[in-house]
Structure formats: C-alpha cells, structure tokens
Amino acid sequence: HDSNDMQKAKLTGEDVAQHNSKDSCWVIVHGRAYDLTEFLPEHPGGSKIILKYAGKDATEEFEPIHPPDTLDKYLDKSKHLGEVDMNTVEQEEKEFDPDEEERQKRIETMPILEQCYNLMDFEAVARRVMKKTAWAYYSSGADDEITMRENHNAYHKIWFRPRVLIDVEHVDTTSTMLGTKVDMPFYVTATALGKLGNPEGEVVLTRGAKKHNVIQMIPTLASCSFDEIIDAAEDGQVQWLQLYVNKDREVTKRIVQHAEKRGCKGLFITVDAPQLGRREKDMRSKFSDVGSNVQSTGGQDVDRSQGAARAISSFIDPSLSWKDIPWFLSITKMPILLKGVQCVEDVIRAIECGVHGVVLSNHGGRQLDFARSGIEVLAEVMPVLRERGWQDRIEIYIDGGVRRATDIIKALCLGATGVGIGRPFLYAMSAYGLPGVDRAMQLLKDEMEMNMRLIGAAKISDLNPTLVDVRGLSMHTAMVPEDTLGRNVYDPLIGPKEKAK
Ligand SMILES: Cc1cc2c(cc1C)[n+](S(=O)(=O)[O-])c1c(=O)[nH]c(=O)nc-1n2C[C@H](O)[C@H](O)[C@H](O)COP(=O)(O)O
C-alpha cells in the first residue's frame, strides 16, 4: 500500500461507523476502510452480506471467501480510504453460540492424529470439529446426494482378480502425469474455499503435496490468492490450474497466461459447472446470509437461500462450448484438459478437438445428481478407445469418492493415468492441519504398496483390466436419505377423532 497512507491520519471506528447504509457504505477489512457504496449491486455475494457489515469490521467474514488481493484487484483505488486505528473500532459483541461452545468441547476431546487409520477417519473427525458452515460446504452434494454416495459406492462393485507367485519384493508406485514423475498416481484436486476449514487455506495442501511429491491442482475459487499458493510451493514442485471460465474472456486470458508464466504445468477447464449445483446442506447453513446475484439478474436483491456456492460463482460463463476450445489452445502452451467429462462421446469429441486429456468426473456429486461415477464412465470409455486404438491419445483421469488405495488401483487397472482426491485432504487439513494432510498421503502410500503387492503388481504399468471384475459396476442402487415421503401424511395410529382436535 502506498506510503502516503502513512501520512494521512488514520480513520477512526467512529468515522467508519457513520457510513453504515446503502447510501454510504464503508467497511473495514484487514485494518483498512473501503467505500463499497457503488460496488454493492455488483458483489457476486449480493449486497445484503456487505450491508450486514456496513460501518463495521468485516474481516472475519471476508477472510475465508476472498483471496487477500481481492480488493486490490477488483476495487477501484479511489475507494480505498486508508488505514483505520483499530483501537477505536468497537468490536462486535459475539452473540453466545451454544453450537460453538459444543464444538470447542469436541475439539478438546478429538482423537489424536495417530488414531486416524484411513481417509474416512478424517471425515469422521472433521464432521465433529469443523464449523457448521465449513462442514456444510465441503460435505454437501447436489440435491439428494445420490451421485455423491454413488461415487464411493461404485468402487464396492468392482472386485479384484489377483495374481499370485509374482515377485513383489520391491513395489514401485511412481508414475508420470502430464510429463511429471510423481511418487503416487493421485493428485490433490481443486476444491474451493480452503480457508473455511483451515485459516491458512490451500497453502497447507501445497506443503503436504510437496512432502509427498504429489501434484496440487490450484482452484480458481481458492481462499488464498493464486500467487500465494504458487509461492508456497518449493522449487521443482508441480502445480496445475483449475479454471472456471469467466464470461469476460480477457480476465480468463490474463489468469491462464499468468498461471503459465508462474510455472503451472497443466490447465484443467471445468466443464461440468455452467451453474453450480444446488447443495442443500450448504444452503441451510449460515451462508444463507451470503446468497448471491447469480440467481437473479441486474442487481436485484439476492436469493438468500443459495449458500456459499452461489455466492462465489456468478462470474462463470454458462455459454462455454466446444467452439471455444481452439481459442484456449491458442492462448497457452500448457497441456489443456477438460474436467467434468461424463460420457464416451465427449471423450471422443475432446480427442478430436485436440485437448491433452480429460477428468471423468461429476464434481464430487456437487453438480448433476444421478450423474454416473467417474469410475463407471471410465469403464465405458476405455474399451471404446481401445477399439479405435486411441487409448494412448490423451491422458484420462478420474475423481470422485476415491478413499482407499484399492480405489486408485481399480482406476489404473481400467486405464486411468491417475486420480484426483478432494474431500479427504480438506477434512485432514481442517481437523489436523499440515500433519493431517501429511498422514493422509502417507496412509494412501502405505495402502498402495500393500495392495499392489497383494494383487500381484510390482509396478504401476503391471496394473491392467484382467485384474478387475467390473460386471456389477452398472447396477445402480440409489441410496437415498431415509425415505420419509409417506411418513407424515397418513398415520394409521391417529384416527379421525384425533385429527379433529
Ligand atoms: C469437495 C469439493 C469439491 C469441489 C469444490 C469444492 C469442494 C468443497 N469446488 S466447488 O466449490 O466449485 O464445488 C470445485 C471447484 O471450485 N472447481 C472444480 O473444478 N471442482 C470443484 N470441486 C470438485 C473436485 O474438484 C472433485 O471433482 C471432487 O472433490 C472429487 O470428489 P471427492 O471430494 O469425493 O474426492
């Protein structure tokens, strides 16, 4: 921030508090005041959430959702009003929150890290110790969360055909993804709002990925700024960029070319989210304040019940289509992959238009409910590509519901180059910070080595379709939350007289 600030007398809390309405709306973030009056109708999260903090300090609310450079990047300098003497700012009386009290007790009694023996253990702990809004955002899937459950359930329909008497004294789990040699064939996939779960945000995942030579896919909607996440990586550490395409292609071009300049080694264009899915747990949580304009047009008051997802996604371009792919190929030398492809026809289309790979994914079940799991689509795709001799034309990744090394092995047996893992690392980071992420990755490594040994594979290239039986894969049992449709409409125990009361 420029030095003339220092000369300018600091604003007081009283100065800011006078601007507490939509006619004049000043807000404090990180000890500096900003005039957001004109910005109110443009805020993707809607005007209500800003007005809630008009004249006050909004730092705590601002922090998990916005990268630190947001105001520098998107708010005209004339609206930067300078430093505030925070000693003069009345801190809001925190209303007593019994849930928060309970949560603190659960944190004091949570299991020690060594009691987590698999990736699902982190989910169990995170559910108990995370803030409600953070748990709601990370754990939610779309609609009835059928697809979110199917993502992991699908792996239970694939069984192994292990081979014996193979020399597996030395097991090598290393592999190559987009030209990068990795210790394990999985990457940390892009998941938004890392600071909801951990105050440091995505850089915790960066440090964990470095330790295990695992690739991190940087989300467009990270809480940390893109440059913070790049700077948190050490020399030689490989990162990819996940891109939500902005309606303003100039913004998109700038993001892509900056990422390439900073050394990103892959561009993953998310294609399954022209609009973010309806995640009801997220919508029910506190974020209902935060609603956003994406549901309504032209700055009308936001639809308050849309949760964090809506609040951060109004910039995404729903008109993105195959005709845009040549433009992307023209603005970067990075390999380009499409993330969120869900049928073999689109894989063939992707190959024909020259992209370098796809991620077969349904966004962790957060988009279209009843979309098939990545592993099921993989089982549909690979035989068709093999028939055409195209199985090596592009790299094929899958994600969704990967919780065990056996899930990774099944995907590689069917022909995937690697898999993306999302929630487990978010939960590990939220519950235990970097040690949690480190342990989660180590657990996967240990499982991988053991399971490859038991299936009779000494190295990744030994994994092949004959080692799995996928006959049950396309049978779907939709596990819905307890079916209460008929529960309250007619209750035979209460006769008409009761009703009449
Ligand atoms: C769990 C989670 C996933 C998100 C995610 C946020 C969370 C909390 N977000 S979202 O806010 O828009 O939905 C993104 C995102 O920014 N961009 C994206 O391409 N995928 C996003 N995904 C999907 C993610 O990249 C994987 O497809 C998904 O997480 C894989 O499933 P598992 O979580 O079961 O591993």
Question: pLDDT of 333-360, one tens digit each?
Answer: 999 999 999 999 999 999 999 999 999 9
155 included as an active-site residue: no
212 is catalytic: no
User: Mean per-residue pLDDT for 16-22?
Assistant: 95
Q: What is the DSSP letter of 108?
A: H
Does residue 279's CB lie within 6 angstroms of at least one atom of ligand 1? no
The CA-atom distances, in angstroms, between 302 and each of 26, 292, 297, 442 are 20, 5, 9, 44
- Mean residue pLDDT across the chain: 90
Query: What is the distance between the alpha carbons of residues 304 and 150, in angstroms, rounded to a whole number?
Result: 30
SS (H, E, C) 130-187: CCHHHHHHHHCCCCCCHHHHHHHHHHHHCEECCCCCCCCCCCECCEEECCEEECCCEE
Residue 277, ligand 1, Cβ within 6 A: no
Rg from Cα positions in the chain? 24
Torsions phi, psi of 469, nearest 5? Answer: -115, 110
Ligand 1 pocket mutation pick from 140, 151, 189 by most atoms within 8 angstroms of CB: 189
Beta strands per DSSP E along 305-356: 336-341
Q: Quick count: other Cβ atoms within 10 Å of Cβ 14?
A: 12
The preferred substitution site among 123, 149, 191 for testing ligand 1, maximizing ligand atoms within 8 Å of CB, is: 191
Name the packing angle between helices 405-413 and 423-455 (round to 10°). Answer: 70
Provide the 10 A C-beta neighbour count for residue 327.
11
Distance of alpha carbon 43 from alpha carbon 47, whole angstroms:
6
- Quick check: helix, strand or coil at residue 280? helix
The ipTM estimated for the assembled molecules is 0.99
Query: In sequence order, which residues have a C-beta less than 8 Å from that of residue 215 and are 6 or more positions away?
Result: 177, 180, 182, 187, 188, 209, 238, 239, 240, 265
Q: Is 402 in the pocket of ligand 1 (CB under 6 A)?
A: yes
Annotated active-site residue in 66, 212, 356, 363: 363
Atom 21 of ligand 1, residue of closest alpha carbon: 191
Give the nearest ligand 1 atom to 139 CA: 1
Tokens representing residue 202 in the block: 């995505």
> 484 or 392, which is more confident?
392
Q: 221 in ligand 1 pocket by Cβ < 6 Å?
A: yes
Residue of 188, 285, 363 with the most ligand 1 atoms within 8 Å of its CB, for mutation: 363
With vertex at residue 439, the alpha carbon angle to CA 270 and CA 110, rounded to the nearest 5 degrees, is: 105
From atom 14 of ligand 1, which residue's Cα is the shortest distance away?
Answer: 191
Contact 410, 466 (CB under 8 A): no
Can you count the helices (H) and strands (E) in the chain?
20, 15
Q: Answer for the pair 204, 196: CB distance below 8 angstroms, yes or no.
A: no
Pick the residue whose CA is nearest to atom 10 on ligand 1.
192
pLDDT at 295: 29
pLDDT of residue 314: 75
Give the distance (Å) from ligand 1 centre to CA of residue 364: 6
Ligand 1 atom closest to residue 219's alpha carbon, by position in its atom list: 16
466-470 long-range Cβ contacts below 8 angstroms, 24+ apart? 466/161, 467/160, 467/161, 467/162, 467/163, 467/409, 467/413, 468/158, 468/159, 468/160, 468/161, 468/410, 468/413, 468/414, 469/158, 469/159, 469/160, 469/161, 470/157, 470/158, 470/379, 470/414
Quote the pLDDT of residue 1: 46
Pairing of strands 186-188, 418-421: parallel
Q: Which atom of ligand 1 is nearest to the CA of 421?
A: 35
Structure tokens of 431?
A: 């519950």
Indicate the pLDDT class of residue 394, thresholds 50, 70 and 90: very high
pLDDT at position 498: 53
State pLDDT tens for residues 446-480. 999 999 999 999 999 999 999 999 999 988 876 66
pLDDT of 500: 52
Dig out the tokens for 18 from the structure: 């006078």
Identify whether 346 is a catalytic site residue. no
pLDDT per residue as tens digits for the range 199-239: 999 999 999 999 999 999 999 999 999 999 999 999 999 99
Residues contacting residue 17 through CB under 8 Å, at least 6 positions apart:
55, 56, 90
Q: Is the pTM of this model over 0.90?
A: no
